[in-house]
Structure 1
């Protein structure tokens, strides 16, 4: 009886593999279209994205790790944020008809099994985000004040509210994905104790304009409190009751210099981190990380947060690992968002200056999509309270003709709308 069941199970597995393998191996074809009103380069980019979306919808899954193959040459990776299917993308046909740009492509799910085609990404860099080969585009980011909900719990951690964003800025700089500035004295919420992160949208937009950044990071330290205590035997130790502990003072206490100290043995670090889009003020991520440290978790004397003296302790070691985790999560959230820059000057309607240059990874010949934000039409939800963002009109494309360290000059290739200061451009990967 058991043998028969095993045979049936094996037969079912073989049949399932036989039927599923051809489906997985077969290339997926899809076609995308886009209006050419903004010019051919922009329309082509939009048509490719549309084709990838159609492929995902028709196959009931999203795609990831899509490596574009064109004219027999593997260029770079693209992504449609996915957990399931991987493969290489090849452009089969592209043409224009009746004012529309058409792209037909195929996705080979098995081609990715051939192995890596480029150098390995950094640990925090998503390899599937269409970055230009051999270089990194650095987005501008601002870290701000972190409110400490219970300051009495953190009386031994000096400067926690301002040293924390400074330390996050340091860690983010090490990723080489961001040009990070710290403004630990600035807050995004008028009431940091009670307001929800979404309430800071207007302040974030002002910070974005004033500090010239693409993203803003803020947050709250929800707890640094002691969650457990234990008894420790001491000899000739002062009963300094200012520490977060207590001493036994009953019979025989202090005899021959000995005592029993009731002191913290476990302490929590609970952190909430918010990431904002500086253009719209929208919350891109609201993440919470928490862990309990055990051992000697309260220093005898106060120490400055994020210093060597703090990291050396049992509590500091756990906090250090948590902040590494927070930094990785920030990198994961932002790594696939295209670099965005602002038009800061326009000459003769055809030459534009943008606030991104060589230090941000720009190179002569780069193409960027040109957008015009409709700031007067902010999109809201939740009964008109929550800000979701600002709609944009895709206007055309620009090509960089000169790159300085902190800015670039570009020529407008196409624009269906008047190009003005305050317009935005986003990096367009070459496909």
Structure 2
């Protein structure tokens, strides 16, 4: 058996260049063909500034098989649209690139090369200006729009662990909602005692229910659903301190001296009020977080977040979860850091997911979408109109488990252009007048106008 691998690096001097891209005009009309032409030009520009070719051949029993792929060593994230025109059934664009970018590591470039242009056109830029998006690990990452997200009820595996924390579960939802909103990437909502899945007694893994996820997303009008299980809030260890009177919280115990009651005159209280308090010295926080796609109900990712704190870990009933008093305790400080990591984990999962919004109303060639200026939708934005197949067309997992379905197929219907924007909705017109959209169809981010 013979195996060979050839790595060729075609390195050109990086400089600004005019690159032409083209695309056939299809069902999406000129707007979609224009986007694809820009993507084609960006890919060519990236390859022009340096390409890597990987080839391998495999010979076995006299048969030769060969593999080859070409991808850029740099991902360009600056460009200027110079001109565009139509010739017959093709749409052409001419762009000028700015190669002032850092080289992308080969392992990341190889994984994202086919879609490398998507990051470039993710934001709007005025005519003649250079469009730039911050570099992220995901080539398709885009937070130019704020995505709607639903925080479902977080279930407690051992409810008794949270007896000393006032409003733990609703406070957890509220704090995550506040942090997600502060990131400026999302428009979060919260359910009231509605979980995204069932947690069966005696079973560790939750029973995933894609239909419930889809129903929650439809009812609350969100694109994604986030749920979770708090696995552990247990306190352990011992530390000894002085206690006076009734200064004993849930999870602590007091030992008082067994001596006759001694009373003193004036303000000095009885010695019987003094005692030794034994408190837990450490406490854990462990949570499993599940991120779901609302349209299909599919699980996008499951992540675990866990840490422990020592010191002041038992809470007074006055310390409401998420309050300043709570965050000033040793346990509260650790939990706050874990919540920040959960928000960062949600960001990592959803960075590669395109913005989408549902159609709530149809009037001839005009559609109303349930996202407006609060989601940063702007007049002139171009989006793509899709229709998701019915639930009977779910793509089943290989093992046939309905809770692990892969999602539902979708059909691209047309391109749309936003013509009017209100805070909570926007109106768009269809580029293809023969299409008949329906309530429940959705639009997905395609590109913002570079005008």
TM-score range, shorter chain: 0.7 to 0.9
1:111 to 94, 100, 110: 100
Q: Is residue 307 of structure 1 aligned with residue 320 of structure 2? A: no
**Distance in 2 of aligned mates of 1:282 and 1:63:** 33
Distance 1:49 1:192 in 2: 48
Aligned pair count reads 381
Q: Secondary structure of the residue that 1:379 maps to in structure 2?
A: coil
Residue 186 (structure 2) aligned to one of 178, 184, 192? 178
Q: What corresponds to 2:170 in structure 1?
A: 162
Q: Which secondary structure does the structure 1 equivalent of 2:197 belong to?
A: coil
Q: Is 1:364 aligned with 2:372?
A: no
- What is residue 424 of structure 2 aligned with on the other side? 406
Check 1:249–1:177 CA distance in 2 against 1; reply closer, same or farther (3 A cut): same
What pairs with 1:224-373 in structure 2 (closer than 5 Å)?
224-227=233-236, 229-234=237-242, 243-245=250-252, 261-299=277-315, 301=317, 303-348=319-364, 350-373=365-388
User: Are 2:30 and 1:40 equivalent residues in the alignment?
Assistant: yes
What SS does the corresponding residue of 2:431 show, helix, strand or coil? strand
Shift of 1:208: 1.4
Q: Which residue of 2 aligns with 1:380?
A: 396
TM-score by length of 2: 0.70
How many Å separate the matches in 2 of 1:23 and 1:251? 88
Give the whole-Å Cα distance in 2 for the aligned partners of 1:159 and 1:235. 26
Q: 2:411 aligns with which of 376, 390, 393?
A: 393
Per-residue CA shift, 1:33-77, capped at 9, x if unaligned?
Answer: 6672332322443465578789699566688864141346xxxxx
CA distance in 2: counterparts of 1:314 and 1:62, whole angstroms: 48
Cα pair distance change 1:273/1:398, threshold 3 Å: same
Q: 8 Å contact 2:74–2:101 — kept in the other structure?
A: no
Unpaired segments of 5 or more residues in structure 1?
1-18, 73-90
Contact 1:142 1:213 in 2 (8 A): yes
State the shift of 1:307 in Å: 1.9
Does the 8 A contact of 1:344 with 1:354 survive in 2?
yes
Instruction: State the shift of 1:333 in Å.
Output: 2.3
Q: Secondary structure at the match of 2:346?
A: helix
Distance in 2 between residues matched to 1:378 and 1:289, nearest whole Å: 31
Instruction: Give the deviation of 1:379 after TM superposition.
Output: 1.5
Query: For the residues of structure 2 that align with 1:213 and 1:418, how far apart are their CA atoms?
Result: 23
Name the CA distance, whole Å, in 1 between partners of 2:72 and 2:164: 48
Per-residue CA shift, 1:191-215, capped at 9, x if unaligned?
Answer: 3664856723111111111111111
Aligned match of 1:9? none
Pair 1:188 & 2:196 matched: yes
Cα pair 1:205 1:278 within 8 Å, conserved: yes
CA contact (8 A) 2:234 2:283 kept: yes
How far off is 1:260 after superposition?
A: 5.5
Q: Using the alignment, how far apart are the partners of 1:105 and 1:378 within structure 2?
A: 41
- What TM-score, normalized to structure 1? 0.73
Q: Which sits farther off after the overlay, 195-204 or 61-70?
A: 61-70
2:28–2:431 Cα contact (<8 Å) kept: no
Contact 1:197 1:283 in 2 (8 A): no
Alignment of 1:199 onto 2:208: yes
Partner deviation per Cα, 1:225-263 (whole Å, 9 max, x = no partner): 124x234253657695x74245678999x9x88866543
Does residue 426 (structure 1) correspond to residue 444 (structure 2)? The answer is yes
CA contact (8 A) 2:52 2:73 kept: no
What secondary structure, in the 3-state scheme, does the structure 2 residue paired with 1:291 have?
A: strand
Partner Cα distance (2:13, 2:283) in 1? 50
1:211 aligns with 2:211: no
C-alpha distance in structure 1 between counterparts of 2:395 and 2:440, whole Å: 19
Contact 2:255 2:276 in 1 (8 A): yes
What secondary structure sits across from 1:287 in the alignment?
A: strand
Query: Any unmatched runs of 5+ in structure 2?
Result: 1-7, 54-68, 104-129, 262-270
Secondary structure in structure 2 of the residue aligned to 1:353: strand
Report if aligned partners of 1:34, 1:102 keep a CA contact under 8 Å in 2.
no
